[in-house]
Structure 1
Amino acid sequence: MQVKSKIKELLKKFVKCKVPQNNWANMNVIVFGDSIVAGQELIREETPYRDVVYAKLAAYYLHAHKLENFAETGTGQFKGQHNLDRLAGWTHSFEGSIEYYKQEIKQADVALIAYGNNDWKQPNPDGSQHSLTEVKDKLRQNINHIRAINHHIQLVGVIETLAFRKHQPAWYLEGPNGFTYADMVAAYIVVYEEQNVAVFDIRDYHLGNHIDEYVDDRDHFTLAIHKQIAKSLTDFVKHGYQSPVQRFGETDKYIFTGNLFEDSKMRQELFAAIKSNAQQGKRAEILWFELSMVTADEIVDFIKVNDLPEDTKITNIYQYYAAPLRYDVELDDLTLVDNVLLNAHQIPFIKFDADMILRSLDGEKWSEPLTKSAFNDLWINHYVSLKDQIWTWQDGHYVKSK
């Protein structure tokens, strides 16, 4: 019986090694990270975060057998959590957690790695600094340590947050260790790609770009954003650990505020810019702001008739709000009833009041009235990330936005 059990275990590992796993059905998932994925019970949130963080929800959506969350507030690659370390008798850094949870790693099928924020904003426990080179070296060591314990584990590196300070993006802000947040994120991505670790970057899903997505105006997401990240992570796993950007390539985004189905100087210049940039291997996405009831088939015909590259993407602001987590080319059937816009499920999501627009916030209440211009700007600020190249209409031409 013991021999048979060992054979079954070997076969199980062989299958995992040979067959790509694009779901978590019946799998054991573990999480290493800081407070963002650990769950932060902050003053503006009543729900215990650890029960509703994106990793927990994604594990549920993907029918995982079990999720164990080893993330802890304030931790990183170079430090643990002082009070917790003292009580537990071991350091809750990434390295320390790997060693402590060695048995769980052996039994795991998937491990999420969600560190970085504290590597940027905190020095070492003794007050000394760590360099970007040390960040990379430490990450390589920790990845190799996990793989030495479990050769067959699927690793996923999570790039979680843009981070804000004083209501401004912290992207180019230098931390106490002498490097910017952007430098730290780039360092993590370099190592993940070098080590063949799947990279789940929430920026690829138009998340984390705006300050109102964070509960504390800094790093920690609201409950609604945790839910959206969970659905995005589910999409990522189901598509072979690739985001839409990884599957289809990054896009140059063109802001178009006119009627896309009527000829105009703006439209002519838009088409010319897209075709010119396509010759340089650039994929185009048109961000379109007019209320329209066009179908997916009409969009396909529009691209053909105007001789645009087949991979041109057209994203309409109202269609996006109707189904913000849709990653295919399907469009919702929108209906307008008494100045309220309904999606395909007949759920109201936009209300028009004279020259003002109201957004559905959570399915039960509406936002404060916004002008059309403010409504458009709000969407752009949420949708566009620092990874994107934006083209805007200026002085009769499309030009790159700085």
Structure 2
Amino acid sequence: MARVLEGSSRKVLIATSIASREYLRGIARRARECDWHLVTDMMFTGVPPRGWKGSGILALLPHPPDLLTHSPWPGIPCVAVTGADLPATVPRVDSDHGAIGRSAADHFLERGYRSFAWAPFLNDAANRDRLSGFQARLAEHGCECRELAPTHSRIGPYWQDNWAELRRNLLAELQRLPRPAAVLAFNDCAAANVVDVCRDAGLAVPEDVAVLGVGNSVVCETSPVPLSSVDDDPEEIGYRAAGLLESLMTGAEAPVETVRVPPKGIVTRVSTDVLAVNDPRVSRALYYIAEHYRDPMLTVSEVASAVSMSRRNLERSFRQETGRTINEHIMSIRMREASRLLKTHPRVKSADIAALVGIPGEGTFFRAFRRHFSMSPRTHRDWSAQSCVSSRPNEPELGAASNGASPTAA
């Protein structure tokens, strides 16, 4: 028998001309739970549908500049999924830009950097908030951050770019940075531009300049040097925005403050996959460890042999450069990867994760994990799950680090 469709489904307009697949995936997940009908005409026409009558609106950038300030559908609940400067009356779900900045600072500080720069995309509120978080965490460690010129400039809806001049200025600023330097860019687009200009300036990435983007987009894999990137969790942003719209359509009060979604983590690729060290032999040892830490038979003697040094000389140089022993560094990498796997693969057994990070035996893994994190793997996993706003279905299979991430992914 043919299925008879109910007529009670809410109709929700996706108000944007282009929509990220990740945002849409989160919106669609919530739409299925709430039995919505999503109206996507604007994604193909770029024009608000005249005479449309529906229940709610999800507005994603880019959308017509005055869509949220002079809506053609007054009285219909609307939630913005955007980083743009908007009137305070528009409910909004957005990235936690401060948390992204702090996470990026931690990523660089863990690698020993003391020279930092910020590469904005625009001079808007989202860029300023992200920079503020980055600067605040660096200040806690006695560090400052230089500000590079924005990749683009805009007055209202109009872009005011001089590509050649912007690149000349960026090249000169990068050459003046004390090296090794670490650059946080507002997004992957700005980060890829920094990498490209570094090549023109004769600066090696990541040896001279480490570069970190935000968004974990396809740009990361197409950059001349594969880009490390903060995963800002757009699927969760879309899901949370749809959830907020559902509550507004059922009569709930709109939140006064923007709903902020924390980043999911950092996917480490080549552009930051290095510690800031001056001794090239120690640098080679770090690379060797990053490539082989999954081997449970990895030893300090093997690392020393790989870089053509005596064990004693390498251990002394390694401690001078990094402040810890080789064995401590190997265990730190294994524990960081174990933490990531516990968070992203909640159904995988601890014994299997132990094997994936090069620790033979669940008992040995349990004791090492407790020493490192002051909690058991199970407690760590439960704590991580409670920190997330929702779980992720359909996780990828375990194996080598996903998305091109290096084994040292944070």
Q: TM-score range by the shorter chain?
A: 0.3 to 0.5
Give the TM-score taking structure 1 as reference length. 0.33
Give the TM-score taking structure 2 as reference length. 0.33
Q: Decide which structure has greater helix share.
A: 2
Larger RCO (CA within 8 A; separation ≥ 6): 2
